[in-house]
Amino acid sequence: MQPKSEIVLSVDPGLTHTGVALFVNIRHRQSRSVPFQITSCKPQKTWLLQLPVKGSWESKCIRMSDLLVETINGNVDGIRLCSIDKCLIESQQFWSASSKSVAATSSGNIFKLSVLCGCFFRALVDRSVDCEFVSPGDWKGQTPKDVIESRVCKICNYSKVQDHVADAIGIGLWYQGVL
User: Where are the chain's structural domains?
Assistant: 37-176
Q: Note the pTM of the prediction, 2 decimals.
A: 0.84
Tell which CATH classification among 3.40.30.10, 3.30.420.10, 3.40.50.10800, 3.40.50.620 matches the domain 37-176: 3.30.420.10
- Give me the tens of pLDDT residue by residue for the chain, a chain 179 residues long: 455 678 899 999 988 899 999 988 776 655 444 444 444 578 988 999 998 888 888 888 889 999 888 888 876 666 666 788 899 999 986 555 566 655 655 667 778 888 899 999 999 999 889 999 999 999 999 899 899 999 999 999 999 999 899 999 999 999 988 88
Give me the helix-helix angle, 145-156 and 163-176, nearest 10°.
70
* pLDDT on residue 19: 94
Q: How far is CA 40 from CA 3, 121, 172, in A?
A: 14, 27, 12
